[in-house]
Structure formats: structure tokens, C-alpha cells
Amino acid sequence: MKTGNATKYAVIIEWGGQSPPSRWYSRLSKLASFHVREGKNVFVEDDREDVDIGILAARATQKGVIAQEGAIICASESLASTIANIAARGLSTKQRDGSQRMVIPKAVLVGPYQPRSVVATPQDDEALARIEIQFGRRGRRPAEMETFTVCCFEERQSYIVKGHTCVNCPACGATNVKITHGAVAGYADPGGNVVEAWMRTRFSSGEYFSPLEGETPAPPMPQVGKDDSTFITNLMISPLFSQVLSIDRSDAFAILDAAYVSRLHLNGERRLRMRIEAATVYLQAGGSPNGLQLGEAESRYDLLDASLLGAPYIAGLLLRKG
């Protein structure tokens, strides 16, 4: 199996505590020369510290590799689908009394994934430092719990958390978050211009937090930090400003949240990948390439900057705007 960033296909199998029958290993061996361990059809736990990803590379064939018993990585989509179906339909195994018993996994999943080398982004470094500070403490933890406000950049939602520590999103587990001590006040939509309302509800504390529910209209814009100020200044002179004015108000808020998070809290490679995917869906649906900018401009924002919301959704908005 060739390495690199080409799309592969993964089969994830939950055997539910059952031992896969020997026939399962035989099928994998005959079908694609897959082995859990080189020269063996039985999984052997190996906890030596020097056993690493090199073993995967040694076992890999041009067709793929078994990463673990329940995780099979294939180069071919049809091979992955076939292996998934073999598992899902169950395999018989011979009992000690000579009878046959069907072994059927509790769950089988199959789908594409894009492997990449593990390279820490600034967001990863920040998360790792936060985890080390919180979890690396020695001694008895404080008796009293603290209150934290967590802004999850993946969900674009904020949460109030009470606990001794807080390092990630309490809902989805994301580590790309902003955390502050205490509870950030929640405000209602003050009405008026949707971009101004978005700024007042998101930056009421002086820094970005997705709004918590509240009844009091958001206060006027406070002083914000340099990065946020630059984003807001660029937004005012970008096509995105006028593009959201004719969109449903709640959708406009979501689009502005996604554009903000993408520009300030995601790495450039991921932004570009999502941007191109949305543009591709738009063009495939008959959209005009005129004025479509595949690469992002440093100080110019448009609907493609909100591609976190999904390529079909953004493509649909572009098509409606002609």
C-alpha cells in the first residue's frame, strides 16, 4: 500500500468481546494477503516500547494493512466494502462439541479517510500545554470546584462548566477551545444590522465567545484584541458583509461564526481544503466560475470562508445568489 495523503478506506469492526473465528483471518489472507502479524493469523499483543508504526509498514501490502484486529485500512474502496460485508454477515466457527456457531460483529463501519502525518498545529500546541498544566499538577486537588466558560471552536458553542479542571469541550471533547474562569454573560440578539448584532453578542466580554442564552440585549461593542479587531475591520470591507445581509438571521450568525473560527482558529491547510471542496460542489452544480476565488485573500472574506458549515450548504447559498 502506497503511503502519503491519498484517500484510503477504513473498515472498523466491533466484535463485542467475541474472538473472530480463524475463518475470518483465512478470508483476509486469501482475499488480500492481510495478516495481523507477519506470518501469523492470530493477533498477539505486543507491548514493547520499540514496537511502533514501522510494524504497520512492514505488514502492509499494496492492497492495505490491518492496523488492529478491528481496524483494517484498504487502498481500494471495493475491497473495503467486501471485507465489511464479510464481517457483517458473520462467519461460522467450530465449537469443541463439533457444532457450528455464527460469530457476528456488534457493529461494522466502512468509509474513506485521509491519513496525514502527525504535525502539531498552533492549536495543538496550545491544547497540549493546557493539558500539561491541568493534569500535570501534583498533590491533592482543591476541595472546591471552579466555574469555567468554554467556547468550542468546532461546534461554535459555549458552555458553563463546573469542575476542578477544564481542558476541552464538555459536549464533543474538542481541544480547539477557548476557556476562561468564571461565567461569561449571555445576551439576546439586539436586532438591527445582523453584522453589528453578531459582533455585539460575540464580543460582549472583549473577546470572542459564542453566545450563551440570555434575555438582555447585547451591549455596545467593547474594545477587542488586535487579531479580533483586524478580523472585524476586514469583514466590514469584504463581500461577506453584504452577502449575509440577505440571508436568514440565524444562518447569517452561523456563517459569521464559521468564517471567524476558520480564519483565526484553524490552520491554513484545512481552510483551503474545505474552501476548494465547497467551490467544487458549487461548480459541479452549474455555478459560474466568474468571481469565484479558490484561494483565500488575506484581508478579503466571502461565503467560502464559512465552509466549516459543509460544502453542500455553502454551494447552495452561492447558487441562490447567482
The pLDDT value given to residue 62: 64
pLDDT(239) > 50? yes
Q: What are phi and psi of 36, to 5 degrees?
A: -70, -40
* Residue owning grid cell 492549536: 123
* Cα–Cα distance, 110 to 81 (Å, whole number): 7
Q: Go through 156-189 and write b for each residue having 16 or more CB atoms within 10 A of its CB, e for each that does not.
A: bbbbebeeebbbbbbeeebbbbbbbeeebebbeb
Q: Could you read off the pLDDT of 82-139 as tens digits, one per residue?
A: 999 999 999 988 888 888 889 999 999 999 987 777 888 888 999 999 888 888 777 7
Q: Could you read off the pLDDT of 251-267 as tens digits, one per residue?
A: 999 999 999 999 999 99
288 strand-pairing partners: none
* Cα–Cα distance, 261 to 268 (Å, whole number): 12
Q: How far, in whole angstroms, is CA 111 from its chain's centroid? A: 15
* Cα–Cα distance, 199 to 209 (Å, whole number): 10
The pLDDT value given to residue 61: 64
pTM for the predicted model, two decimal places: 0.75
